[in-house]
Structure 1
Amino acid sequence: MEKPVIIFGAKGIAHPALEIFNSNNVVVFGFLDEDEKIHGTEINTVSVLGNPEDDGFLKLIGQKTEAFVAEENPKYRKFLVELLNDRRKVQPVNAIHRRSFISTDATIGHGNFINANVNIGAGAEIGSHCIINSAAIIEHKAKLGDFVQIGAGSVINSEVTIEEGAFIGSGATIISGLTIGKNARVGAGSVVISSVGSNETVFGNPAAKVK
């Protein structure tokens, strides 16, 4: 990546995103965040410059810089992605840690956060704008939709389908061949042995629906 990156968001995964870009020798120009109280502060010597909707900074995107969206709230993350699509006609770049492993025939979309020691297997399909935290395993031929979040140390077994917006908590295990529906939530440490419907929340070992 030749251009420096502006990171949208300065909390949550923003700091590890900075570390990921540093690990790949990519310069981070600065952070943009809607919280005015942190404007002018620094994260590891990199400044929080201003608001994500400030045209003065947005005009840099696609010309002098790339963009990465580090916002974890799915609705606001989607808003920022659409902002970049509509106003700058660009897609956010991926933040992929150099200590992750991605199979040569896995496919990956735009704007994904893939942290250290993540393992993505053969034929896996990763959508766009996903957050895959440290040491998660995405086994062969698993499919992740857009805006999916996978917690640290989770195991997504072979041929699992996780639909758009689903959240998988840290340390969860999803058994092979299952489907996790759109916007579903799987609690941390759960072992999921049957498919989960859209908008459902499950928790436990074995995972059961939370009413």
Structure 2
Amino acid sequence: MEKPVIILGAKGIAHPALEIFNSNQVMVYGFLDEDEKLFGQEINTVPILGHTEDEGFLKLIGKKCEAFVAVDDNKYRQFLVKMLHENRKVQPVNAIHGMAYISTDATIGHGNFINAKVTLGAGSKIGSHCILHTGAIVEHGVELADFVQIGAGSVINSGVRIGEGAFVGSGVTVVAGVSIGKNARVGAGSVVISNVKDGETVFGNPAAPIKK
């Protein structure tokens, strides 16, 4: 990657994203964030320049800079990705840690955050704009749709399908062949042994739906 990167978002995964780009010898031009109180501050000497929707900075993207969306909140993440598509005609770049293991025939979309010690097994398919935290294991033949988040140390066993926008907390085990629906949520430490419906929240060992 020859161009420097502007990181949209200055909280949550923004700091580890900076570390990833630094470790890959990619220059980060600066951060943009919606919180005006952060403007003018720095993260490891890299400035927080202004608002995520500031056209003065956004106009650099696609010409002089690449973009990466470092926002944990899925709705705002989707909004920013759509804005980049429509206004700048660009796809966010991937942030992949040098200590991640990526199988030679894994496929990966755009704008993903893949932290240290993540494992992507043979034939796994990762959509776009996913967040895979430290040490997550995605076994062979797993398919993650767009905007999926996998917590640190979770184990997604072979043949699992996870729908768009789903959230899997830290330390979760999902047994082989299970499907987790769109926008579903799995609580930290859970063991998922059966399918999870769209929009459903499950927790426990074995994971069971939480009554609202």
Under a length normalisation based on structure 2, what TM-score does the superposition of the two structures give? 0.99
Q: How does 1:181-200 map to 2 (within 5 A)?
A: 181-200=181-200
Once the two structures are superposed, what CA deviation does each residue of 1:33-89 show, in whole Å capped at 9, x if it has no partner? 010000000001000000111111011000000000000000000000000000000
Structure 1 residue aligned with 2:173: 173
Aligned twin of 1:153: 153
Length, aligned pairs only? 211
| Aligned counterpart, 1:118 | 118
For each residue in 1:82-111, what CA deviation from the matched residue of structure 2 results, as whole angstroms up to 9, or x when unmatched?
Answer: 000000000000000000000010000000
C-alpha RMSD over aligned residues: 0.3
- Structure 1 residue 162: Cα displacement: 0.2
Q: Gapped runs of 5+ residues in structure 2?
A: none
> Secondary structure at 1:20's aligned position in 2?
helix
Instruction: Say if 2:113 is the partner of 1:95.
Output: no
Partner Cα distance (1:59, 1:110) in 2: 20
Deviations 1:109-164 (A, max 9, x none): 00000000000000000000000000000000000000000000000000000000
Normalised by the size of structure 1, how large is the TM-score? 1.00
Please name the residue that 1:76 is paired with: 76
Give the whole-Å Cα distance in 2 for the aligned partners of 1:83 and 1:34. 14
Q: Which residue of 1 aligns with 2:204?
A: 204
Q: CA deviation at 1:184?
A: 0.2
Q: Which amino acid aligns with 2:186?
A: V
| 1:5 Cα offset (Å) | 0.2
1: distance between equivalents of 2:193 and 2:177?
10
Percent identity (aligned): 73
Aligned to 1:137: 137
**Displacement of 1:24 after TM fit?**
0.4
Q: Which amino acid letter does the alignment assign opposite residue 2 of structure 1?
A: E
1:3 and 1:98 map into 2 onto residues whose CA distance is 19
- Any unmatched runs of 5+ in structure 1? none
Distance, in Å, in 1 between the alignment partners of 2:128 and 2:50 is 25
